Structure formats: C-alpha cells, structure tokens
Structure 1
Amino acid sequence: MGETVLKRMFDLTLSLLLLIGLLPLIVVIAILIRIKLGPPIVFKQLRPGFNRTPFYIYKFRTMTNACDSEGNLLSDAERLTTFGALIRKTSLDELPQLINVLKGEMSLVGPRPLLMRYLPFFSEREQRRFSVRPGITGLAQISGRNGLSWNERLELDAQYAENHSILLDIKILLISLTKVWKREGYYEVTNRQLPDLDVERCSLLTSD
C-alpha cells in the first residue's frame, strides 16, 4: 500500500511539473495540428486500464480523416502526414497522456494500454498487467518496443506488474528519454510487422 501511494505521489508531482514546463511546446504542437490537420487536435480512444476499467486515452492527432470513394477511412500509412510522423518519432504525440496521469487513469510507467478488443486474448499470467495502472512508457518499451513479439511484450508487462517500484520507474523513465532522443524502437507505419494481437492469436487457434 505504501509503495502504491508513493508511486501515485511521484506520478502526480512529475506529470504536473512536466505539463507546466512543456506547456509552450504543447501549445505550439496543438496550433500546428489545427493548421495542418484541422480539428480535432487530440485523438481519444477507449482502452482498458487498471482492473480492466475502460478509460479514454489521449494523444495528439497524427493522421488525416481521408476516406475512399465509399466513405471508408484509408489505411494508416496513407493518412499519416509528414508532420504526424515527426511527432510520433519524437513521442510528442504522447504528451496529452499527462492529463490521463493527473486524472489517475494512467501512470508515467506501466504496461501500455492496448485495445479493448484484445481483452479476451490475454493469458492468465498476461492479465497481471491489469493489476497496475497502464503507463506512458514501460518495461516493454525500453526492451525493444515494436521489435518484440506479443509474447515477449506481454511477459515483460507481467514482470513489471509483479516487481514495480519507484526506483524501477525512475530507471525506465531515464532509459525512455535516452531512447526517444536517439529515436530507437520507432517503426514506420508502412513497415509494421507485428500483427494485431487478436488476429495473431485467432490464427494460432485456427492452426491448432
């Protein structure tokens, strides 16, 4: 209980300081998105959080709303703009999640919140990830990010849930900053090789 309270105090203090310190940058990014992409500036999507409780995650919008002749959205690769790719590479699109941290929906460090439709596909061990708040960055992100398989990523999430501490959070945050600076672990949308979790596990069930 003491560790949980300390982690929450750490999250509140640091996220508030980051929001205040980065406010000019946040305003500039918001203005550029409004000019280049139009409204809305912030993308939000329902994700499962602590104890599987749904919440809306916030991100700066990086894609257009371009559709085909039948009104269907084009692929991510076709809708991602040059500016959007830039703020993704620098992880600046994640800045609005500091609001999620202040609201208590997320932590600075924890398993990344995935899609609602993935919920039926986690193993019993992998569901350990829901025993802690999801994070802006996490153990999986500093260990390979999109270069890892789903099994590897979710195992790291379970390990974090079982062993999290303030010292580990500080270590993960420092390594995350280094990786963002070096732009390590970023994959272009057009080069994504990792299938969706539900698609991968459904195909495995079918093959069995």
Structure 2
Amino acid sequence: MTFETYRTAGGTTIPRGVSSGRRALDVVVAGSALVLLSPLLLLLAVVVRLSGPGPVVFRQRRITTGGREFTIYKFRTMRTDGVGPSVTRSGDARVTRPGRFMRRTSLDELPQLVNVLRGEMTLVGPRPETPDLAARYPAEAQWVLELTPGVTGPAQISMRDDVALQGSDVDVESWYLGNVVPRRVAVDLTFLARPTVAATVGVLARTARYLVTGRRWVPPTG
C-alpha cells in the first residue's frame, strides 16, 4: 500500500500514514483489550469517581495525522480545581493519589484504545501533543506533528521520566520544548523510519516489559 511520505528536517523520508497491516493490528489489539480489560476499566472508573469531583474520563484536544485535531480520552488523574502548565512535573500537587498510581502504571491511558479504534491514534507512534505546545515546537521537530500519534512508542518507554522536572524556578513548558522534545523525536525516528508490523510488535513487547519490570528500553546509538 502506498502512502504519502514526509521528509524530516534531517532528510529522512518517512511514511505519513499507517499501513493496512498496522491498522489491522490496531483494530485487533485495541478491540480485544477493551473487551478483556472491561472489568479493570470499570474498576478504574469507580476509583476515579471516588477520588473527587469531576468527570471520570479526561478529554483534551490533541494533534493527529496531518496536524489535524482530535479529542483524546484518558482516565482523569488530576483535580479539576488545579491550575498550572500543560506539562506536569514531579510531585505536581494537582495529581490525585490514585492518579499517581495510574500514571506510574499507564493505566490512565487505557481509554486511548478507543482513539485507536477510531483511527485517530495508532498503537505505536509519537506522543500525541496539545495544539498549544505543538504550535511552539522547535522547527526541526515539527515534522513529527504530521504523523499519527501512538499510545506508546520508543521515546515513551525510554524517556518516560524525563519530564519529571524538580524545582519551582524553571519554566517547565519551555524546558520540555527545548530539551525533551528534540530528544524524544530523535528516539522515535528509530521506529518511524521503518514502521513495519514486526517493529510495532517489538515496541509493544518492550512496553509490556517496561510496565512489568520497570526497566526502561535503551535505544540503539550510532
């Protein structure tokens, strides 16, 4: 199947869309997971409801294929009366107690399987960014906003804790955009340059290992 390609700032040509093989994998895995994990999803919904006032499911506009916007779904992990930057730092007071556990185990992201079924996301891809932060992306990293975002990806399992910036005297959003985003995009390129079904399964396996053991994946260098 032929797709429109996109050339990165570094000159690498990558496919812009999701192949039919990856799309089939998305539908099978996401659909099966939603059915098999339905008791867990119900339990988490009850926990979120009991954690404080506010919706069970957090909805936010994010960027998908071609720079279009969509609504992402996650279990709510923060208080609704909290105000702060789009990027959370370690010890953020807005995060609820069960929210900390769900973030640490990525259980808050399970509703994104619905986004996968709808074709707004894929299982493996770059991080889905907010329109506000996407508009401020470094020029050399903006190409990644043209691609379909993923529930997981190489950067998400090798740099998961890098946005946990300590200290209150740092503009966390500027730090994230200037330091984390370029490195995250470079790591994701290890998959995005050749996003095959086999490579997708490999990232999913590394994600499962990370969630079980806590061992972060070390991407190849050189």
Using structure 2 for the length normalisation, give the TM-score: 0.73
Could you tell me which amino acid in structure 2 is paired with residue 181 of structure 1?
Answer: V
Q: CA deviation at 1:163?
A: 1.5
Is the Cα–Cα contact under 8 Å of residues 63 and 130 in structure 2 kept in the other structure?
yes
Is the Cα–Cα contact under 8 Å of residues 106 and 135 in structure 1 kept in the other structure?
yes
Q: CA deviation at 1:125?
A: 4.9
Q: 1:46 aligns with which of 61, 64, 69?
A: 61
Could you tell me which amino acid in structure 1 is paired with residue 161 of structure 2?
Answer: N
Match of 1:150 in 2: 181
Q: 2:208 aligns with which of 164, 177, 200?
A: 177
Match of 2:132 in 1: 117
User: Could you report, residue by residue, the CA deviation over 1:94-151 in whole angstroms, capped at 9, with x for unpaired residues?
Assistant: 0000000000000011001112123334455533324431000001122333338322
Question: What secondary structure is seen at the aligned counterpart in 2 of 1:111?
Answer: coil
Instruction: Indicate the RMSD between aligned Cα atoms, in angstroms.
Output: 2.2
**Count, aligned residues:** 180
1:62 partnered with 2:64: no
Give 1:12-161 correspondences, 5 Å limit. 12-66=27-81, 73=83, 77-123=92-138, 125-147=140-162, 149-161=180-192
1:7 partnered with 2:22: yes
Question: What secondary structure is seen at the aligned counterpart in 2 of 1:55?
Answer: strand
Q: CA deviation at 1:37?
A: 2.0
User: Could you report, residue by residue, the CA deviation over 1:167-207 in whole angstroms, capped at 9, with x for unpaired residues?
Assistant: 1111101111111123456xxxxxxxxxxxxxxxxxxxxxx
Is the Cα–Cα contact under 8 Å of residues 128 and 158 in structure 1 kept in the other structure?
no
User: Could you report, residue by residue, the CA deviation over 1:23-71 in whole angstroms, capped at 9, with x for unpaired residues?
Assistant: 000001001111222330011110111111100111100111235xxxx
Distance between the aligned counterparts of 2:108 and 2:73, measured in 1?
A: 9
Is the Cα–Cα contact under 8 Å of residues 128 and 161 in structure 1 kept in the other structure?
no
Distance between the aligned counterparts of 1:163 and 1:62, measured in 2?
A: 34
Question: What secondary structure is seen at the aligned counterpart in 1 of 2:135?
Answer: helix
Distance between the aligned counterparts of 2:114 and 2:194, measured in 1?
A: 25
Q: CA deviation at 1:166?
A: 0.7
Is the Cα–Cα contact under 8 Å of residues 64 and 146 in structure 2 kept in the other structure?
no
Higher relative contact order (CA 8 A, sep 6+): 2
Determine which structure has the larger helix proportion and give its number: 1
Q: Any gaps of 5 or more consecutive residues in structure 1?
A: 68-72, 186-208
Match of 1:203 in 2: none
Could you tell me which amino acid in structure 1 is paired with residue 40 of structure 2?
Answer: L
Is the Cα–Cα contact under 8 Å of residues 54 and 79 in structure 2 kept in the other structure?
no
Q: 1:162 aligns with which of 181, 186, 193?
A: 193
Could you tell me which amino acid in structure 1 is paired with residue 72 of structure 2?
Answer: I
Question: What secondary structure is seen at the aligned counterpart in 2 of 1:58?
Answer: strand
